[in-house]
Chains A and B, each alone.
Chain A
């Protein structure tokens, strides 16, 4: 009984969320102000012919700093995993 009720509530909620998600307009690009801005100003503001690079390294340069930091941290993690064991130290097994 409780399982059936729970399933019914879940289905109703799912239908509601699905209807909202499907009903949201996403198809035609309704808002292209940002794209137009990048295309129009990549050459005079960032001075780069490659619009993708001007977005990645200039308009969103902070994001690229984060990516570089992620790579740094990944290398740090690999270094910790492959570190040299101290004399007499053993690998720990679960």
Chain B
């Protein structure tokens, strides 16, 4: 459905903030409340904002169904690959070998209450990112499927 210019402009203005806030929730999953599922849902809200404000044919020129399907599959594959990497590196599926190792997401964490550093927690941010990509793709694909059948009538 093509909404009025006010709705379209507001949606165009707000969907980047939705995406950025969703990414923030995903990336800070090991420090603050939230995580992959919640952040992915927030990001999908940004896509939904675009979808309800525009005509389906207009929006699928930039927000393609195949891209979102790819997002979903890539997210799940990334999760499984991270698990298998732990299996080969540490001997257990989803073994958290990156934690405290000094590299990516590998800073050691002080015991007790502390504000926390983003570059910690090893495998957890990677898995959060994977789940976030998957939820973004999955929910957007569901919305695209459901809106693809809506019959448009020109006023």
Contact = CB atoms under 8 A, between A and B. Distances in A.
Interface string A31-60: 000000000000111111110111011100
B89 to A, nearest CB: 15
B128 A50 contact: no
A39 to B, nearest CB: 11
B76 interface: yes
Contacts, number: 111
Contacts of B134: 68, 71-72
Contacts of A78: 141-142, 145-146
Does more than half of chain B's interface fall in helix, strand or loop, or is it mixed? loop
Nearest to B106: A47
Contact of A72 (B76, B83, B114, B128): B76
Nearest to B148: A82
A58 B124 contact: yes
B116 interface: yes
A7 interface: no
B145 A48 contact: no
Contacts of A54: 30, 121, 124
9 contacts: A47-B100, A48-B30, A49-B109, A49-B120, A53-B35, A57-B123, A61-B93, A68-B76, A79-B145
Interface of A: 43-50, 52-54, 56-58, 61-62, 64-65, 67-69, 71-72, 74-75, 78-79, 82
Given A48-B120, A71-B135, A74-B142, 16 more contacts: A43-B109, A47-B122, A50-B30, A53-B30, A53-B124, A54-B121, A56-B35, A57-B29, A61-B127, A65-B79, A65-B83, A67-B37, A68-B75, A72-B134, A75-B141, A78-B145
